[in-house]
Amino acid sequence: MAVQGEVTGVVATGSGRAGGSAEPAGLLALAVRLAREAAGVASAMRSAAITDIATKTTRTDVVTAADVAVERYVGAALRRLRPGDSLLGEEAGERAGTRAGGAGTVRWILDPIDGTVNYLYGLPQWAVSLAVEVDGQVVAGVVRNGVTGQEWTALRGHGAYHRGRPVRGSGVTELGQALVATGFGYAPDRRAYQARVLAGLLPAVRDIRRLGSAALDLCLAAQGRVDAYFEKGLNLWDHAAGALVAAEAGLRVTGLAGAAPGPELVLAAPAGIHRQLHDLLVALEAAGGP
Ligand code: LIP
């Protein structure tokens, strides 16, 4: 099965017969196929009923049967199609493949439902986020909104696409004109700290948006639907695919003070305001706190 690579126009075999191949376009084609199928599983379960609601780090950090079912679905497909690859998923953690390392090692990074609280409440802002790493570098990623069907893809060095059209981030150059997306942790002490950071940010920007899914926030920034995004406390599965989409759309994706994007902070902003926003977040100690 040939799949029109929505990232580059590359025709990639999406047969899944990629077997042990680490060829990025073929990996992207499989990632897109799996994300579409996984979003279908989650949507069908949402339509039936939300079941088995459990909590993780706090009473508001929820996980549903759908989160678990989607991750199991993708894990089973990868075991069948690409047994040598490993998988890092939000719900089951790291699962090794049969391949014993070496050049061309592939790891899949999955957030089965990013925006789980939105999924729980029936808000149309949740996504399946699937990234593919080769030898430790994310080379391909797909983020699919499970309600609207909006889909963003990126292939490293070949741009970012939304519904098959190339996307570029905002051209904003003045922080005071910037619409900035962000999010908050689940723990009360972290939320109190983040509220203080937000109090320092609000007067300096056009406005903020808190939409509830890091993966979708990064994709909306890639498209200029928000000008920038930052958040503290993300896990790799929250941002691995969306960060590649944002970077391939021309945004600078960093941490603060020379750090790589990661749990301390992820910042995605166009060159016109990255320095301004970065320096304000440093001054507000946005990467600090509990
Ligand atoms: C969510 C992130 C969001 C963050 C939420 C939560 P989940 O991930 O996508 O940006 O603000 O607190 O972490 O838990 O829905 O996969």
Tens-digit pLDDT profile for residues 264-280:
999 999 999 999 999 99
**Looking at the structure, do residues 108 and 195 belong to the same domain, yes or no?**
no
**Looking at the structure, do residues 158 and 189 belong to the same domain, yes or no?**
no
Whether the predicted pLDDT of 2 surpasses 90? no
- pLDDT, the chain, mean: 93
pLDDT digits (tens, 9 = 90+) for 197-225: 999 999 999 999 999 999 999 999 999 99
In a domain, 290, yes or no: no
**Looking at the structure, do residues 145 and 199 belong to the same domain, yes or no?**
no
User: Identity (one letter) of the amino acid at 175?
Assistant: L
User: Identity (one letter) of the amino acid at 32?
Assistant: V
Quote the number of domains for the chain: 2
The residue segments making up the domain with residue 227 are 175-283
Token pair listed for 245: 């989409």
Q: What is the pTM of this model?
A: 0.94
CA of 18 to the centre of ligand 1 (A): 32
Which band of pLDDT confidence, cut at 50, 70 and 90, is reported for residue 63?
confident
CA distances from 64 to 74, 77, 81 (A): 16, 21, 26
CA–CA separation, 138 and 108 (whole Å) = 9
CA of 105 to the centre of ligand 1 (A): 28
pLDDT digits (tens, 9 = 90+) for 140-175: 999 999 999 999 999 999 999 998 899 999 999 999
Q: Are the C-beta atoms of residues 55 and 61 closer than 8 Å to each other?
A: yes
Q: Whose CA is nearest to atom 12 of ligand 1?
A: 185
In a domain, 288, yes or no: no
Token pair listed for 232: 């503290």
Q: Whose CA is nearest to atom 16 of ligand 1?
A: 114
Whether the predicted pLDDT of 78 surpasses 70? yes
* pLDDT in the model for residue 187: 96
User: Does the C-beta of 213 come closer than 6 Å to ligand 1?
Assistant: yes
CA–CA separation, 31 and 273 (whole Å) = 32
What ligand 1 atom has the least distance to the C-alpha of 90? 16
What ligand 1 atom has the least distance to the C-alpha of 234? 13
In a domain, 152, yes or no: yes
Residues 121-133, mean pLDDT to the nearest whole number: 98
**Looking at the structure, do residues 263 and 187 belong to the same domain, yes or no?**
yes
Give the domain CATH number at 127: 3.30.540.10
Pocket test for ligand 1, best of 71, 213, 226, 266 (most atoms within 8 A of CB): 213
Residues 61-78, mean pLDDT to the nearest whole number: 94
Q: Rounded to 5 degrees, what are φ and ψ at 139?
A: -115, -15
Q: Are the C-beta atoms of residues 153 and 147 closer than 8 Å to each other?
A: no
CA–CA separation, 83 and 79 (whole Å) = 4
pLDDT digits (tens, 9 = 90+) for 217-259: 999 999 999 999 999 999 999 999 999 999 999 999 999 999 9
**Looking at the structure, do residues 24 and 156 belong to the same domain, yes or no?**
yes
User: Does the C-beta of 276 come closer than 6 Å to ligand 1?
Assistant: no
* pLDDT in the model for residue 19: 60
Task: Identify the domain boundary among 121, 147, 166.
Answer: 166
* pLDDT in the model for residue 7: 42
Task: Identify the domain boundary among 166, 199, 234.
Answer: 166
